[in-house]
């Protein structure tokens, strides 16, 4: 999956543009586990250097229905997966 994942996203953009269509703005992954595998593969492939708390690790996005998703933007396409929500000691929520 490693280098193929970035190539695949680039191909999606190219194919849409070749058909004179706007490329998709968002790709939804089915599970949190798939999101973590995707993020790991992209980080290994692109050799990202990230800082803890950086949006490069994914940022939470709340949808209109109240569901929470993690999102990272890769090659201009937002990739989202279901977030895990955890209560923090101060009574707020943390998303991973």
Within its chain, how far is the Cα of 48 from the centroid? 14
- Mean pLDDT across 44-70: 76
Q: Which residues contact 77 (CB under 8 A, 6 or more apart)?
A: 9, 12, 13, 23, 24, 25, 26, 27
pLDDT in tens, 57-68: 678 899 999 889
pTM score of the predicted model: 0.77
Q: How sure is the predictor about 50, in pLDDT bands with cuts at 50, 70 and 90?
A: low
Instruction: Look up tokens 């798939």; give the residue.
Output: 34
- At 15, list the tokens: 């194919």
Contact 13, 78 (CB under 8 A): no
């Amino acid at each position: 999956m490693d280098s193929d994942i970035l190539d695949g996203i680039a191909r999606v953009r190219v194919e849409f543009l070749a058909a004179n269509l706007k490329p998709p703005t968002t790709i939804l992954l089915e599970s949190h586990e798939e999101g973590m595998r995707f993020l790991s593969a992209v980080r290994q492939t692109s050799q990202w250097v990230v800082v803890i708390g950086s949006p490069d690790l994914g940022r939470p996005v709340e949808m209109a229905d109240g569901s929470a998703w993690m999102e990272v933007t890769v090659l201009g396409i937002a990739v989202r997966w279901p977030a895990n929500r955890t209560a923090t000691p101060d009574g707020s929520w943390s998303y991973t």
